[in-house]
Every structure is written in C-alpha cells, then in structure tokens.
Structure 1
Amino acid sequence: MLFYMDNFLLSVSRLQDAINQYLSHPDNAIIRDGMIHRFEFALSLSWKAAKDYLIHSDISCNTDFPKQVIKTAYTYHLIDDEKIWMDMLDSTKYTSHTFDDSILSDLAADISIHFFPALNRLADRFRFSG
C-alpha cells in the first residue's frame, strides 16, 4: 500500500494554492509563511511517498533518511534533478529557526520558481503511473 501517496498529492495541490496566494500578495508575511509551511509538508510527504513507491516497485530502499531516499529515487529515475531535491532538503534547516524576512522571501521565491516544479513533476509521475 502506498500510504503517503494521496497525502503527498493533496499537499502539492494545496502548495499550488498557497503559491498563487503568495504571488498575488508578495508583501504579506502571513501568506508567505503559510506557503513555506505548506512546502515543508509537501517536501516531508514527497520523500516518504517516494520511498513507498520504490518499495512497492520492488526497489530496495531500506532507509529513513530523506537524502538517501532522494538519491535512490534519482538513481531509479523517479526524480530528474537530484541537486534541486538536495537544495529543497537543505532549505528546511532555515524554515523553523529564522524570522529574517530576506531569508524567508528568498526561500519563498525558490519554492515558487524552483522547488514547486520539482515537487509537481514527482506528483505527475505518481498520478500517471496508475
């Protein structure tokens, strides 16, 4: 059973909604912070869904470390850009412990421009793998 799949797909959809709100109101810190929080949910669910998918596909993925799951997903062509995924994972070290508006604004831009497309490509992969 692919336990995390549906929640990941829903989280990507909700992240898209949050990005749209943020792009309409880029100076609203509450909307920006909410978008970042939705990104954190989507990212956490993404590697867990990827791990489930790999295991369901009979690919060994015996780790609970996100970076190792991402490396395995890249090796088996589940994701297409390992660097952007590692950047996403690294970005989360700033999200819980900073209130610096410039750092958070930079992260919001990265989410909407670089990170969301990668998450959405994985979601599409899951949607169309049927």
Structure 2
Amino acid sequence: MAQLRSACQRERYSELERAGLIQMFEFSLELAWKTLKDWLAEEGFQVATPREAIRQSFEAGLLPEEDAQLLLEALRQRNLLAHTYREELAETAVESIKRRYFPVLERLLRRLQTR
C-alpha cells in the first residue's frame, strides 16, 4: 500500500510509471481480497474467489456496501487490465485507481488494522 500510495501521489506518468502504478494496484487488490479470505476463514466462512470474499465481507459487516461495490468494480477493472492492454484503457485506469480504488483499499486497510 505504501508503494501504491506513493505512485498515486504523482501528477504525471511516463508509460513505464503508468504500468508500475497499474501493477501496484493489481498487487494491492490481490493482497486485499486474500486478506479478506483469511479473515473470513478465521470467522468460519469458506470462500474461494475474490468476488465471494468481497461479498461475504460485506455480509459479515466488515465492509460497508459502497466499499464492497467499489472493490467489485476494482476487481472488474483489474481483470480487464490483465487481459487487454490499450493505451486509452490504461490512461482511464490510472484515474480510477487514484480517485476510486486506492481510497477504498486504504479504508479497508484501516478496518483490518483495527480488527
């Protein structure tokens, strides 16, 4: 998260820096859902996929509905980025990561740290 935070604070990106920001987002989202999965397992829930982990976390009260929806959206964005590379998609993704997905990942981190 520290690396993603640092990358999100930049105003401009070279092509390589933009790719790095996207990669940090993908790593952070992967760690987030796997951490949710582990937390849920400790609480007695069984989940196998990122979507299940996010939905079950909402149902268990760990995530508010808005954050669960944003994380599901981030997951769709990550899947799209992982399977397709288009310049315009990458540029749009950077803004979404900075304005929508990084803040929700930070809120999740704070929630998990207090548990």
Answer whether TM exceeds 0.5 for this pair: yes
2:59 is equivalent to residue 75 of structure 1: yes
Unaligned runs of 5+ in 1: 1-11
Question: How big is the shift at 1:96?
Answer: 2.4
User: Which stretches of structure 1, 4 residues or longer, exceed 6 Å deviation after superposition?
Assistant: none
Residue 24 in 1 paired to residue 11 in 2?
A: yes
1:41 & 1:49 partners in 2: Cα distance? 12
- Residue in structure 1 matching 2:48, options 37, 58, 64: 64
Q: How large is the RMSD of aligned CA atoms in angstroms?
A: 1.4
How far 1:13 moved relative to its partner? 1.6
Q: How far has the Cα of 1:30 moved from its partner? A: 1.0
After TM superposition, give the deviation of residue 128 of structure 1 in Å: 2.1
Unmatched 5+ stretches in structure 2: none
Identity rate, percent: 26
Residue type of the alignment partner of 2:75: L
Q: Does 1:107 align with 2:96?
A: no
Match of 2:2 among 13, 23, 27: 13
Match for 1:74: what amino acid? F
Matched positions, count: 113
Give me the whole-angstrom Cα distance separating, in 2, the residues matched to 1:125 and 1:96: 28
Q: Comparing 30-39 with 87-96, which one deviates more in the overlay?
A: 87-96
